[in-house]
Each structure stands twice: as structure tokens, then as C-alpha cells.
A and B are shown apart, each in its own frame.
Chain A
């Protein structure tokens, strides 16, 4: 259960933080204390036993901390020296500052009172941490949509979403029963049962444009349009802008010598990706896709020459 490895340093750090936490939560149940510190109850007993031996020089009962934890509830006395919480580390400050940025951007407009409080708090923290302006996070998803989906997950309800399919470039409305939110690389996805397609699907959170709760799942099955489930083998030659190509096509840098062999799962993605590389990459195979890129480019070029 413990996330961090047990080094003397990490345990010391935990024990130092335990004292003020106990002072603020006298009589806390041992199990919930262990949970708050992400350790097992046994580990917490070991921590408390170690702490019990500590105190001011002299180390007589008068100077030692007074801990009681045998009844399953923990209290602490005679620990004034350590009873104030420790200062935030720079990493902790940055975590809170970046988090507050998102809070500030996500508060509803009518709560200008909270906005003022959050902004003042952010400035105060930044100043204390010697980080006056240097950190900033942008929210890339809509927090109202997240909240609606999270609510649907916990209430086991369905939502109607409008969703932008990037490769097909269409916006569709679907009824989904969201099951969980998970993160893949840098993107947040909703894993859901899509009532409109009658199957489990993953949706990119930042492409959900709207979400509203619906009473009962509307079990109207839509035709399954263009499900491109089989993979396409393609061969790519990179002519310039190497880094852009590596990032766009997720190429392993070790494979950069010569032509690149990869697989795609969407014809539309492949065509769009090659077009938007603006000539920095060339699709060698498959031949049909190559021809269709040539055709699109030539048609567009003629339009520019005549308009």
C-alpha cells in the first residue's frame, strides 16, 4: 500500500509530518490515520512506536512525546516543538500553484468571491515559495464536462454528449454510460458503453464538446459507420522537419534510418497526417493512399490557381 520506498529519510519525513497532523486531529482512529498517510495500519503502529521514543534532550518521561494509541484511537501530547506543520517544499508549492491555476480558470463566473480568494491565495503561496510568476497551467478540458461525466459515473447514469471525431471531422451526438476516466500519455479518456453504437468505446475528453445527463439510456442503435478496425501497413519517407515527423507519426528514433514501416488504424488519419506534414514526408505505400493524397493535393492546387 505504501507508495514510496521505505528509506530512513522518507520515514523521518513522514514522522515529522505525523506530529502536527495528530495535534490537529486528536483522537483520530488508527486505521483512518494510516489511510491518510497511505501506509498500512501495521506500518503506522511502527511509526508511532518510533515517535514515542523521541523528545527533547533529557529524554525523561517529562521530555518525551506522550502518545497513546493502544485503544485504536491516537492522541498526542507534549509535542509542542514539532506541532506546527512543516514548510512546503518547492515541489509541493509548485503542485499547489499549478493546481490553483486550474481552479481559477474553472470557477463559475458568478463566484467572483471565490475567484478573488483563489487568486490572493495563489499569490501568497507563490511569494512564500520564492516563485513569483514562474509557473502556469492551462486547463485543456472543460471542467463542467468533466464534472458532468464524473457525476454520471458515480450515479451510474447516462449522458448525451456531442463528440468531435477528429479523423472523420464530424460532430455526432451519442448517448453513453461512462464507466471510468483514464489517462493515456497526455490525454484523458472516458471509457464508456456507447448506447448509440451498442459497444464499449473510448472517448477523448477534450473532444467532448457538451455533456448532459439523460433520464434513461436511449437504446436506439445507430448503424455502425465506417469502423476501421483492421490495421493498414504503411511506408513513410521523411524529407525534412525530422522532429515534427517523429512526433506526428510516433516514430521510434532508433528506426530513423531509411524508410519507415508503421501501422495505422485509420485511413483518414494517415491521409490527413501526410497532407498536414506539408511535403516534409512522403507516403511510399500503400499505393492507393498515395494516389489519393496526390489527387487531393492536385485538385486543391488547381483551385488555388483558378481562384
Chain B
């Protein structure tokens, strides 16, 4: 095992140190570890290149010189290999440490920790005293992050099965644009290639494995794309006036734009976009909440109540 590791590291060093493209034969004769028949060396080299690419190391192919021969050459450009964030301060490293620490125990914990090791290798000490003592926590048990984030940065297409409102399993092909949290859940937004429109998908509603296309740069993300807008304000928000019992309905109270004291009850106003969602949350509170306006919201609540009485009465 360690011979393979030594060879990969020696190959990386050789390709990084060279100022020009190295041909395969130059690599085989100078980099330690390539042994056996020409076919064996060839196979070893192909596998090594794939392994390095899987580590995110870009190997450039080039150096064709028609005047001599047309053998391809290889090198790793230092500007692609190494982290280049320009000058960085101790305060910035401290902020990034805080950002990485937020993943403790969550999906991208390992990635956050390895990112932190790289940042701490830049030779700038983290200045934790320059930032306030705050502690953050990202909550997500999701494991599809790795695949989705890679697909977004490489502009590759995702294929997955998605649960519809009626629990049908639908097959989707999506050009992913973005991921974001919204109301405590993770969402993926992107162009649904079959339905030819922008859609959002809640990650925990994806069934089974996600497949990614092998290609890259298959689409472009529109420059003005804003995932928060696509999750939030699809429609113009409506305004509702509700009576809520004193000391009750705290979930609605925290959303209130205004509160008027009416004795036993308080009158609040709030904004909503999704009628179904707001009816559900009004009914959660039973007789502690009463809709004053608008009429269509009152009607929706009354309709739901009629069904409830019909089913249970």
C-alpha cells in the first residue's frame, strides 16, 4: 500500500516541479515506482492519474509539438494545485474556523475539518481574540451534500427519484443551481430538464441514491439566480388578520407584524404565501385562533373544518 502512496506523491511532486510538460516515457524513467512491462506501467499511470483527479488535483495534458513528435505531455500547474486566497489575516482565519466548527457532528464535518487544516497550513495564526465568543451549529443529517455540491460546482446534471405530494416516486433530471436551508429543511433548486422549468426539491424527499452525470459544464447558472427568492417569494405575500387568545399561539405570535390588545384576545396581522400551509398552522391552534380576514382564508379554514366535522362527527 505504501508503495502506491509513495508513487502517487512522487508523481505529484514531479508534475508540480516541472516547468514543461513531461511525456509518459520521461515519467516512467524518472519517477520512482513505475516498474514492469510497458503495459503494466501504462495501466499504473492511467490509474494514478484517475486517483489524483479524484483527489481534486488537476493534471493538464498538452505540450504537443508537431515539429518533433505528437506525444502528449503532463503537468500540474501550481496555480491550480494550491490554495490561493490572496493575503489572509488572523481574523479571517478565526472567522473561517468558526464557520468550520459549525459542522460538528453534521454532514460536512470531515470536509470542514480538512478545509480547516489547509487554512491552518497557510502560516497565519488564527486570531480568536479578535472575534466575539459565539458558537454555531448547522443541523443536517443529509449525506447527499457531497454529490450535490460537486455537481453544482462542475455544472453537472443530477438524476434522482423524488416523492410527489401523493407519494408517487418520480424520476427527475435536474441541472442543480443551488442548495439552501428554509424553515429547517435543506432544499435544492435547479432546472428540471424534463419539465423545463425551475423547481425546488426538499432533500429529505429524495429517495435512494442520486446519480450524477460524468460530464461537466453542461449548463450555466443564470447570473441573477437567487435561491432564497425561489424558495420565498414566488407569489406576492397576502396579509391576514387573526384573533389569538392571550398567552397562546406562540408560533403565530412570533410572525406577527402588529399586535393589538383586545382584552381576552389579541388581534395580530401576519403575511403568508402558501394558503395550505397557513390554514394548517391556524388549525394546529384549535379554538385559540380565529381568522378575521381575508375572506378567502376564512373560507379555506371553514372548508377544512367542514371536512373535519364530516370525518369525525
> B267-300 toward A: CB 8 Å interface, digit per residue (1/0)?
0000000001001110111111011000000100
Residues in chain B near residue A24, CB distance under 8 A: 120-123
Total interface residues in chain A, CB < 8 Å: 123
Q: Which residue of A has the minimal Cβ distance to B51?
A: A9
Min CB–CB distance A147 → chain B (angstroms)? 5
Q: A84-B82, A85-B122 are in contact. Are A53 and B108 (CB under 8 A)?
A: no
What are the residues of chain B within 8 A of A244 when measuring CB–CB? 165
A108 within 8 A of B: yes
Docked Cα-Cα span, A94 to B153, in Å, equals 9
* B61 at the A interface (CB under 8 A): no
Q: How far is the CA of A291 from the CA of B85 in the complex (A)?
A: 65
Are the CB atoms of B56 and A87 closer together than 8 Å? yes
Given contact pairs A23-B121, A146-B136, A272-B286, A136 touches B16 in the complex (Cβ within 8 A): no
Of chain A, the residue at the smallest CB distance from B222 is A133
CB distance from B161 to the nearest CB of A (A): 12
Q: How far is the CA of A87 from the CA of B85 in the complex (A)?
A: 9
- Please give me the residue from chain B that is nearest to A13 by CB atom: B55
B14 touches A56 (CB 8 A): yes
Most buried by B among A118, A141, A291, A305: A118
Per DSSP, are chain A's interface residues mostly helix, strand or loop, or mixed? Answer: helix
- Which size bracket describes the interface of B in this complex? 35 or more
Within 8 A of B (CB), among A93-142: 93-100, 102-103, 106-108, 111, 114, 117-118, 121, 124-125, 128-141
The stretch that binds A, out of B89-97, B192-200, B234-242, B255-263, is B89-97
Q: Does B83 contact A (CB under 8 A)?
A: yes
- Contact present for B311 and A108 (CB under 8 Å): no
Known: A9-B54, A82-B16, A278-B304. 16 other contacts (CB 8 A): A17-B117, A21-B117, A86-B57, A89-B111, A90-B152, A91-B146, A92-B112, A96-B100, A106-B134, A133-B178, A136-B181, A166-B251, A279-B308, A293-B308, A301-B302, A301-B309
Question: A residues near B, CB below 8 A?
Answer: 3-4, 8-9, 11-13, 15-17, 20-21, 23-25, 36-38, 46, 50-51, 53-59, 81-82, 84-100, 102-103, 106-108, 111, 114, 117-118, 121, 124-125, 128-141, 143-144, 146-147, 150, 164, 166, 169-171, 181, 183, 185-188, 206, 239, 241-244, 246, 253, 256, 271-279, 282-283, 290-291, 293-294, 296-301, 303-305, 307
